[in-house]
Structure 1
Amino acid sequence: MAFKLYNFIFYITMAAFGYFNLFFQDVGLDSFQIGLVNAIPRIFALLLMPFWGFLTDYLQENKKVLLITLLGTLVSVILFPQTESFKLLMLLMFFYTLFQNPIIPLSDSLLLDYLGDNSNYYGKFRLWGSVGYMLSVSILGYFLEATASANLFYIYALVLIISIFLLKFLPKSKREIKVLDPGDFKKIFRKKRLVYFLFFVFILQTAMNANYSYFPIYIVDHGGGAFLLGIALTISSASEILAFLFSDRIIKNNKFSKIIIIISLGFVLRWLSLALFPYRLIILVSQILHSITFGLFFAVGVDYVDQISGEKFRATGQNIYAAVFMGVSAISGSLLGGKIYQIAGGEKMYFVWALLSLTAGLIYSFYLLKKEKEIKINAA
């Protein structure tokens, strides 16, 4: 129950994060500057991303490292409303990203330690984060539209304080305390299955992270505001709850290649809808595909990476996965998306993402099907 309550509360911060770019727009940044503020700090923070996983696996002090990241994030969000300077916002985003990025993979690593061999049940715990997000995002959007976008940071800080309080109730890892040889960490980078999967994740998440950055602006450009954005995000979070709820059955009852094909199609349909039909109803309906493009994709990825990494490098594996899922791809998505949006507009940007997702899906799916066929032949 402790993990479910922690996820429920913490993921309200992700609802607040969805409005960051509206704040940046309100203080006078254009779309390309918003892309730079989101991307450049991540480049430097990303270099330290695996460090958090190494530190956790090496010292096996997950909760203490997680506490440090929560406190660092708290300090950074409190400072955002104090400035409108492009350079200072860039600096603050560096510290925010440095401490915030590891929180989810470290929390997931702690949960996976608790689940042990039942990692496929991850979604049943993670869905409570989606519930918290869903129940708060529209209310937050309405509140910010009625007041000021800068208030999102004070709400963010309050939720972090509650999360820090709840952290002490999370169970500690069941693993024996054993300091690992730093040289052992090289082994995880030699796993080809992991490398190919991470490259696939990078391509699809470049599009998704661009969507996170520019979807609020796309909404505004089509006559909407923070409230309409909140409704769209509520629909997307509600849909992902179903994906997390049934993710264990989907993982258990389907081949990995089949799941990847479904996920790829979900991405293509979602981006094509926004590219070809930029109408409010279609924009809202397209958010249902978030169940596949985020909920199912993320849950499947956590389980797949956990199986490849093994217990010994669990935190490291999840941090590498998160570094690609939320880090490297966020940099590329913010920069490429910002430039495409600035030059050609939102519809063209989403059309590019549809083509990119289709290409990546076809190549990776053919690779997986070929490998499954080889395994079947060798087993015969």
Structure 2
Amino acid sequence: MSNYTSHHEANWLRAFVFTVFMIASIVVSYFPLYYKSLGFNSVQIGLLYSVGPLVSIVSNLFWGVASDKLRTLKKVIIVLLIGYLIISLALSQITSFAAVSSLLIAFYFFYFPIFPLLDSFAIVTAEAEGKSFISIRVFGSIGFAVSGLVFGFVLGSIGAQYSVWVVIALGTVSLLLAFRLTDKKAKQTTVKKMEFGGLWKVLKQREVVLFFLFVLLLAIAHRLNEAFLGLALIELGANESLVGLAWMLSAVSEIPIFFLLSAYGDRFKELPLLAFSCLMFTIRFLLLAVLQDPIWMLSTQVLHSVSFGIFFFVAIRYLSRVIPDEYRSTGMAVYTIVWSSIAGLLSGTIGGVLMQAYGKDVVYYTSTMFALAASLGFGALAWYSQRAEGLKSLRK
């Protein structure tokens, strides 16, 4: 394959990643406001938020197996986008809570698996070109940021009730771009080695079990913010454009951190970095609990860089180091279930009740406590690991 052809294929993939993450920006930022425009209360919105993570446990496994069996990523992604568009069109026509809940199950069944399959696509393409995964994945962050800014102003003018039509338009563009991708065989996808024997091999390591526990604590805090930041800003008098600006700031802030960690991250140990990132999450959520001015709350989004930006990159690197190669796919599957599915289910259910009964302050104080517990946990695990290494070296 010529360098020109390879570069051309990568550019189509970058455009596709950019557009798909524009969709993610709308789903994360504006779907809670869309539910609010339908007249749903905070408890109902929290329950709707938790539907996605619950469905994703099954859908990611199902479509991962499908991509393995069919040996294609492109065709499975196209099917997912078509299903996603059909369900989105149906979703735009209904307003009752029961009907929306039912359709969201189908919506998330097609929506969530797009992202892990897209990551696999990006990894295979990057390896084929001899480039880094970050050089492709960063276009997702850029797309998320651009979407938050542009459609923040658009939806601020026309109203969050048109959010579904925005994702339909973006989904149509994504589908057209998907046909321009060069298909890749699904190699070593997340579920290929998701076997009970491998799962037991992973979970019987005490260090790995503690890691997943602390990840869950942090993930609950992160998902509470993700689900209720927009609602908190609106309740304090902000408009939809400010919500979009908030998510744009967070997405932009993580881009330089990804590049810095890619270049210099190996100079630092993972566990102290994870403890530090959780501490930054703690400070960020504490500020969001205390602040009552939407503009000041907006400024805290730059802390996304030293909280999520560090955590996302370093957690993956840590798992790659402590889990043997033959069980790495299993470890990543467990990580995805803990970070996205279990945490999303718990945060949506708990957060909706807290938001309805006590408001945003209690939601963010709760997030603060979970993030602090995670920081202390990773700090203790770092101390224990360092002590164990010291004793090992003395014995030698």
Cα-to-partner distance string for 1:174-218 (whole Å, 9 max, x where unaligned): 78799x997856314521355433332222111111112111110
Cα gap change, 1:244/1:22 in structure 2, threshold over 3 Å: closer, same or farther?
same
Cα-to-partner distance string for 1:73-130 (whole Å, 9 max, x where unaligned): 2222222220111001101111122221222112112222344599994333222111
Alignment match, 1:142? 153
Cα gap change, 1:309/1:156 in structure 2, threshold over 3 Å: closer, same or farther?
farther
**Match of 1:5, as an amino acid?**
A
Looking at structure 2, the residues matched to 181 and 84 of structure 1 have their Cα atoms a distance apart, in angstroms, of: 39
Looking at structure 2, the residues matched to 97 and 347 of structure 1 have their Cα atoms a distance apart, in angstroms, of: 29
Looking at structure 1, the residues matched to 351 and 264 of structure 2 have their Cα atoms a distance apart, in angstroms, of: 32
Residue pair 2:149, 2:248 contacting (<8 A) in 1 also = yes
Alignment match, 1:14? 24
Q: What is the 5 A alignment of 1:183-194?
A: 184=195, 186-191=197-202, 192=205, 193-194=207-208
Q: What's the offset of the Cα at 1:277?
A: 2.0
Cα-to-partner distance string for 1:254-296 (whole Å, 9 max, x where unaligned): 1111210221111101100011122233201110011133233
Q: Comparing 147-156 with 236-245, which one deviates more in the overlay?
A: 147-156
- Of 266, 273, 284, the match for 1:259: 273
**Match of 2:242, as an amino acid?**
L
Looking at structure 2, the residues matched to 371 and 118 of structure 1 have their Cα atoms a distance apart, in angstroms, of: 37
| 2:109 aligned counterpart, secondary structure | helix
Looking at structure 2, the residues matched to 117 and 365 of structure 1 have their Cα atoms a distance apart, in angstroms, of: 38
Q: Comparing 226-235 with 116-125, which one deviates more in the overlay?
A: 116-125
Looking at structure 2, the residues matched to 341 and 119 of structure 1 have their Cα atoms a distance apart, in angstroms, of: 47
Cα gap change, 1:115/1:215 in structure 2, threshold over 3 Å: closer, same or farther?
same
Alignment match, 2:175? 164
Is 1:362 paired with 2:376? yes
Residue pair 1:36, 1:334 contacting (<8 A) in 2 also = yes
- Of 103, 108, 112, the match for 2:114: 103
Q: Comparing 120-129 with 241-250, which one deviates more in the overlay?
A: 120-129
Alignment match, 2:247? 233
Looking at structure 2, the residues matched to 38 and 15 of structure 1 have their Cα atoms a distance apart, in angstroms, of: 15
Alignment match, 2:218? 204
- Of 212, 222, 227, the match for 2:236: 222
Q: What's the offset of the Cα at 1:220?
A: 1.1
Cα-to-partner distance string for 1:315-344 (whole Å, 9 max, x where unaligned): 665444333322221111111111111121
Is 1:282 paired with 2:296? yes
Alignment match, 2:163? 152
Residue pair 2:71, 2:185 contacting (<8 A) in 1 also = no
Q: Comparing 122-131 with 109-118, which one deviates more in the overlay?
A: 109-118
Cα gap change, 1:7/1:352 in structure 2, threshold over 3 Å: closer, same or farther?
same
Looking at structure 2, the residues matched to 82 and 109 of structure 1 have their Cα atoms a distance apart, in angstroms, of: 34
Cα gap change, 1:168/1:374 in structure 2, threshold over 3 Å: closer, same or farther?
farther
Residue pair 1:46, 1:98 contacting (<8 A) in 2 also = no
Is 1:94 paired with 2:105? yes
Looking at structure 1, the residues matched to 165 and 376 of structure 2 have their Cα atoms a distance apart, in angstroms, of: 44
Residue pair 1:216, 1:229 contacting (<8 A) in 2 also = yes
Looking at structure 2, the residues matched to 313 and 114 of structure 1 have their Cα atoms a distance apart, in angstroms, of: 23
- Of 339, 342, 364, the match for 1:350: 364
Q: Comparing 237-246 with 167-176, which one deviates more in the overlay?
A: 167-176
Looking at structure 2, the residues matched to 289 and 66 of structure 1 have their Cα atoms a distance apart, in angstroms, of: 33
**Match of 1:31, as an amino acid?**
S
Residue pair 1:275, 1:346 contacting (<8 A) in 2 also = yes
Looking at structure 1, the residues matched to 375 and 184 of structure 2 have their Cα atoms a distance apart, in angstroms, of: 36
Alignment match, 2:3? none
Is 1:25 paired with 2:36? yes
Alignment match, 1:50? 61
Q: What is the 5 A alignment of 1:300-379?
A: 300-306=314-320, 317-379=331-393
Report how many residues are paired. 379
Looking at structure 1, the residues matched to 169 and 318 of structure 2 have their Cα atoms a distance apart, in angstroms, of: 34
Cα gap change, 1:105/1:119 in structure 2, threshold over 3 Å: closer, same or farther?
farther
Looking at structure 1, the residues matched to 383 and 255 of structure 2 have their Cα atoms a distance apart, in angstroms, of: 29
**Match of 1:276, as an amino acid?**
V
Looking at structure 1, the residues matched to 20 and 150 of structure 2 have their Cα atoms a distance apart, in angstroms, of: 16
Residue pair 1:14, 1:133 contacting (<8 A) in 2 also = yes
Looking at structure 1, the residues matched to 141 and 241 of structure 2 have their Cα atoms a distance apart, in angstroms, of: 19
Cα gap change, 1:64/1:195 in structure 2, threshold over 3 Å: closer, same or farther?
farther
| 2:292 aligned counterpart, secondary structure | coil
Alignment match, 1:64? 75
Residue pair 1:204, 1:360 contacting (<8 A) in 2 also = yes
Looking at structure 2, the residues matched to 317 and 44 of structure 1 have their Cα atoms a distance apart, in angstroms, of: 20
**Alpha carbon RMSD of aligned pairs, Å?**
3.0
Task: List alignment gaps of at least 5 residues for structure 1.
Answer: none
| 1:19 aligned counterpart, secondary structure | helix
Looking at structure 2, the residues matched to 100 and 311 of structure 1 have their Cα atoms a distance apart, in angstroms, of: 29
User: Identity rate of aligned residues, in percent?
Assistant: 24
**Match of 1:134, as an amino acid?**
A
Looking at structure 1, the residues matched to 383 and 182 of structure 2 have their Cα atoms a distance apart, in angstroms, of: 40
- Give the TM-score normalised by the residue count of structure 2: 0.85
Alignment match, 2:141? 130
